[in-house]
Structure 1
């Protein structure tokens, strides 16, 4: 994996993305050349239209990232990828039309754009047909050796067998654990030189998966392995990188304290984040005002009660604030003010409410909270005080998610479907902790882009 701005990108995805950019440039150039030839126009050298070609490639490629063209599912299924490619190119062309209106110097003719769009879909689909199996092959997977043969090692084994896994386990070494569950593991006593064994397996990384590390760390072995150039990681760090989550089953307070992340040097990025929040919330509030007004009228016409409602949520450092949303449930949804989890096909949701929840229109009034500074566009979703009190008692490190400002969208929202249980909250907490630990402007941008995928293909919105 390649680490970009504290976020890991699989080698196969990075390579595919670079190929895509080259093909998008080629598609734009062919679209221009063919159309110019059709009208008998002299085709000038390519350097005279470099800005237009780069604009086409950059915008369409950004749309591809936004709709999930580089997700695990897209890499595994050509049909899944083809649908998203068509949507991405279409959205990219629409965005380009707006950009060309604002900056005419970057514009291609509409006919050029149509040809470029067709070539882009053709080239990108053919590339995936040619490289589909290669991208998921062993050539792009990192080879790891697991030190341990207990339940933690078994978790790594299961993760390696999942479709789209970026690594393959080439060996297990039993370190005299009492709970051995990996039958193929080789006993440490049967290996004369562990460092030499790792090198012979051509491993690039060793993962320490011991069930009990107190007075059991094989320090001499780990030192020799590290000096051969092989990376050494513990289970928690490895799982964080591979899954994009902080694994609550393996972490402990010392790992959270001493591991990389939770950087205090966020002053500059924090300023940029706040400036973006102010500017974007102002623009959205103005642009979506007609839509919000029409939705409010529809809500009022369907059911009695106010179109908007305020709800207390827990924000930064555990301070409560009032969150404003368009009402999507009946007025008697919560009798006595008792907080109740939303369910699948919840009967309390109105017909209009079901639509605006699917399209996330009910979230738009929260831009006011963003403008006031109580929320950000990106961050953990704020929960209700009643739920927070219960979850803090049942889930470790739940209070730590309140060390960053809550958001309208977040890392958990784009990676995990809507959940309404303690287990769902646990899964989402792992994503929220990853975001708090690895926050960067790059990660915020990635989350904002991929929120479009969640809107276009809702996963369990309630």
Structure 2
């Protein structure tokens, strides 16, 4: 239900965009009928099918450029800039496609693409302006607001509640307050016990039962130590989490805030990588994995035979791991330990000079060759080349209780290698896991293709130097 509400605006906006782009095709054709006929005939298309295909082309451009992210009560100026960026990119790509046709002069090509771009841009910008204006009109009258809970029961929380009630344009309908410290609210704040709908330990049940869409964290300045615990317990990807900063956080410049009609909010976003980068990242994962598996296939057969001959047991070790959004998948590795190594001990960490590791397994680990079968997981989409290492369900459950924000690692696909792997050693204790979690969280908040490239280069250097364990 929440996902449907979340994507309703995206579906509505994308359908409108499709119809606008299709209308632009007909409008533009009235100016350049002969030229457009030549272009679509090059691809053996009739006029109608050509218009439909190019409309889907524009939708793809809008998706890649992030035009459908954060549509709820977005600033009309921001909407204008989004449309401008997407339309310019789409027009430039079409310009190079038109250049293939030698029957059209260069000057005419430029005029065609400028006129078509202007038609698309004007109609789309006008459409978005009208839709956002109507959306704000209804929000001012308390319609279509996001269901919101406020975490905190102090003066800051009450001030936020009053501000949201006075300014419906902020787009939030407050359902109630969530207690953090378990104490009854101070009567001086104006918050009664009836206004409190639960405590922080009940947050998951409250979010599900009340179909919450936004969470506003409004803690008192002297309760900052509770912030990590709050963020850890409200880790819900489909729900927008916003933090109301205090004066010192604002003037320090340490927090990036969004000015939403006079109310400064820090939006905690776990996925800074834009869609076009994520698309390239996934395409790179597929290409590299396919190439590696094809080129190394004969060697993988030989390694598998060597594992079978040097110690009893299967060549490929299969194990259940926790992937993106908590999905369980089976990971593949060359077996480097004795068969059933954890039969009597249960799940345990690998350690330096581990007696369970076979002689061949030692060298496979040293050169990271034991990880190669995981390229199959990358092809299947369970993993990526770069990301936090996937952990077993037993340890995920354990670490989630002991390490704040640990579950935020599950926001992205796990990887064969990651920032924590190139910056920290293998896990040997809970303290090691805590340190690696810091690196994993840093990666998630700063993920980019550039950072992925840096991690892959460092990993290759580690492999060449034989520093694996």
Q: Report the TM-score when normalising by structure 1.
A: 0.45
Q: Which has the larger radius of gyration?
A: 2
Which one has more relative contact order, counting CA pairs under 8 Å at least 6 apart?
1
